[in-house]
Amino acid sequence: MRFSNSFLDEIRDRVPISDVIGRRVPWDRKKTNASRGDYWACCPFHGEKSPSFHCEDRKGRYHCFGCGVSGDHFRFLTELDGMAFPEAVQQIADLAGVAMPQPDVEAEKRDRQRIGLQDVMELATQFFETQLQTANGAKARAYLRDRGLTGRTIETFRLGYAPDSRNALKEHLAGKGIAKDQIEACGLVVHGPDIPVSYDRFRDRIMFPILSSREKVIAFGGRAMSPDAPAKYLNSNETELFHKGNVLYNFSRARRAMSGADGAGTIIAVEGYMDVIALHQAGVENAVAPLGTALTENQMALLWKLTQQPVLCFDGDGAGIRAANRAVDLALPHLKPGYSVRFAMLPDGKDPDDLVRNEGRAPFDKVMSSARSLSEMVWLREAQAGSFETPEARAQMEATLKQVVSVIADENVRRHYGQDIRDRLNQFFQGASRQQNNQRGFDRTPRGGNRGGQGGGRGGQAGGRMAERGGISDRLARSSMVTGSQGLPPLRESVLALTIVNHPHLLFAEYDEISAIEYDNRDLQRFWSAVLNAAAAKGPRLSRENLLEQLQAEGFDPLLKALDQQIRFARLWTATTAAAPEDAREGYLQALALHQRTKALLWQRRELETELAHATEEGDDDAVSQILRNLQEVQLEVTRLENQEAIIDGFGVLSGRVKGPAGK
């Protein structure tokens, strides 16, 4: 159900945020000043040893200076405990001693429709679990037993079996009163205009439930029992609940493992479901996996939400090496100070499941302890690509490495990578000259194919694209810290708002994150509230025409025209209707990431300024010096952000454009 802002503000004001958070984390005694309502702790959202998680009763907010999470009472409960928002509101209202408001019948109806799909997925999970224990599931049970899984592990991960039938699940759900359209909306059956009778999507497969970050079943992975099946593993198709590229298998359990009393120091990404489950059974509970495909940018961002240095673990065969090289290319553009990845390469022919099942946890821990840095992986990939006996070959290698690191967007990180490359090249070429290219001092990890030329090509193309973006990007970057002239919103806020109006499908792709955007401009705050109301009423069926009609009816037509003029004057055409959906999405996500980073930096600067005032009052010179150093670092990051290149792709590569529409 929906709640009025006045009700949410009332219960927030009645309950100190430290009372909510203090139930889950122990406060640090040295840094906490309870008399001022100022609290510090080790962050429950990512593993750390020194407290960087801060909450302040006066503001009713928390923020971690390590991983960047922030929010209020409700977000803490929804993000850490996986509660639904109404459940979090109920808990805070109970603590405040305030009765919940009377429900809105229409709003509740919409909520039931959305939650109803989750209920159907839960029924399907229970059906598969039951089938695993029947005579039909004997073969599947034997397979799991041969893989070394215990009954407790099978129960923990809620593994099941889909019988070899075209309608067993469909008829079971129909018998529970589940409507045909709900079964289809969950992706549990194959259906369509060319299919007279729908049939079960998963047949004769071991079933792996896939959970959301709130630990609700949103999809399934199915492992075929028959060797003749066209696909060994089959995932649910994309649904309203499930977007494969945004989900990591075992994410919620791994997050809990990191935030518990014995929290792990990092997160480990492995390649498959069985790897995750075998590691969990061996005591390694902080492992996740992509869903049968290569790691995506969104999945990498999820890893970085949990830890600054996730470890990517790949099988030691040729396919594993190629996957590691793809991950190198994926991570490089998004590096920033303190945030990177490490690579753990398993012995050739082994995967994590094989290793812990046959030899126990110790060999896997040894592999983790020797994980390589991203910079080392870049070097090894190119240095082992061929022979460098001639000056021309060495020059080509140097040029290739420069192109590879040129895609790093952060200027400081890119500079340090350049220095690292120069140091390695000097050492390498000196040794090659003395020993006629005898590379006995280098690790000869096998790799798939000659990547030197490929890596350079990709780097060159990406570097060229980033150079292309500079003009428009610089204008947007300079707008990030100041408001627009003549009362207009900051340009970046205008981009975020108008892109959604012109491309409303983007809102539903990442609804939780996008709907929570906080605008500084008051007109945009009211405008955004109207957009969300329209989205709640129409759901994914919301079109641009519907949204414009609703906004104009509520008097926002002058603001819409002003935003459109502002965007076109700045030539940021990815926010306009002329942009292809792919370009609009890319531009929007980049602007959103920078908007969030800007907000976090400004929040951090205000917090440090408050700390500085307190330390100055108390005459703590050491604390004052440290805070001033921290403030300087934050200000340097603010300056870097203002001048950063490649903020929004103003030239739509996917649309085939080299200029804005109609030369605008």
Average of pLDDT values for 516-523? Answer: 82
- Are 273 and 357 found together in one domain? yes
Q: Which two tokens stand for residue 177?
A: 């009163």
Picking from 96, 126, 158, the residue at the C-terminal end of a domain is: 96
How far is it, in rounded angstroms, from Cα 132 to Cα 438? Answer: 57
Considering only residues 167 and 592, tell me which one the structure prediction assigns the higher pLDDT: 167
How far is it, in rounded angstroms, from Cα 586 to Cα 340? Answer: 22
Which of 556, 91, 480, 512 minimizes the C-alpha distance to 305? 512
Lowest-pLDDT range of 38-42, 587-591, 640-644:
640-644
User: What confidence score (pLDDT) does residue 446 get?
Assistant: 40
Amino acid at 26: P
- Please state, as a whole number, how many other Cβ atoms lie within 10 Å of the Cβ of residue 510: 16
Instruction: Check if the beta carbon of residue 90 is closer than 8 Å to that of residue 100.
Output: yes
Domain membership of residue 128 (yes or no) is yes
93-98: long-range contacts (C-beta < 8 A, 24 or more apart)?
93/11, 95/11, 95/14, 95/15, 95/19, 95/20, 96/10, 96/11, 96/14, 96/15, 97/14, 98/7, 98/10, 98/11, 98/14
- Are 214 and 292 found together in one domain? no
User: What confidence score (pLDDT) does residue 371 get?
Assistant: 92
Amino acid at 555: G
Q: Which two tokens stand for residue 266?
A: 């990092």
Q: Which two tokens stand for residue 625?
A: 């010096």
Do the bridges between strand 311-314 and strand 70-71 make them parallel or antiparallel, or are there none, so unpaired?
A: unpaired
Q: Which two tokens stand for residue 74?
A: 């409700």
For tokens 């690191």, name the residue.
405
Picking from 448, 478, 508, the residue at the C-terminal end of a domain is: 478
- Are 280 and 391 found together in one domain? no
Average of pLDDT values for 558-564? Answer: 90
Domain membership of residue 101 (yes or no) is no
Average of pLDDT values for 45-50? Answer: 82
How far is it, in rounded angstroms, from Cα 610 to Cα 615? Answer: 9
- Are 296 and 364 found together in one domain? yes
- Are 383 and 236 found together in one domain? no
Picking from 48, 71, 96, the residue at the C-terminal end of a domain is: 96
Considering only residues 515 and 373, tell me which one the structure prediction assigns the higher pLDDT: 373
- Please state, as a whole number, how many other Cβ atoms lie within 10 Å of the Cβ of residue 361: 14
Q: What is the DSSP letter of 43?
A: -
Predicted confidence (pLDDT) per residue in 172-185, tens digit = 999 999 999 999 99
Number of folded domains that form the chain: 5
Q: pTM (2 decimals)?
A: 0.53
Residue 39 has pLDDT above 90, yes or no: yes
Instruction: Check if the beta carbon of residue 69 is closer than 8 Å to that of residue 63.
Output: yes
Considering only residues 6 and 372, tell me which one the structure prediction assigns the higher pLDDT: 372
- Are 83 and 119 found together in one domain? no
- Are 465 and 506 found together in one domain? no
How far is it, in rounded angstroms, from Cα 511 to Cα 502? Answer: 16
- Are 287 and 304 found together in one domain? yes
Q: Provide the pLDDT confidence category of residue 213 given band limits of 50, 70 and 90.
A: confident
Return the bridge partners of 205, or none. 162, 224
Q: Provide the pLDDT confidence category of residue 36 given band limits of 50, 70 and 90.
A: confident
Q: What is the mean pLDDT of the chain?
A: 81
- Are 172 and 262 found together in one domain? no
How far is it, in rounded angstroms, from Cα 612 to Cα 589? Answer: 34
- Are 514 and 658 found together in one domain? yes
Which of 594, 600, 599 minimizes the C-alpha distance to 644? 594
Predicted confidence (pLDDT) per residue in 254-285, tens digit = 888 876 544 456 899 998 899 999 999 999 99
- Are 363 and 277 found together in one domain? yes
Domain of residue 77, residue span = 5-96
Q: How many CA atoms lie within 13 A of 128 on its CB side?
A: 32
Return the bridge partners of 220, or none. 209
- Are 227 and 261 found together in one domain? no
C-alpha angle 584-495-498 in degrees, rounded to nearest 5: 80
Residue 359 has pLDDT above 50, yes or no: yes
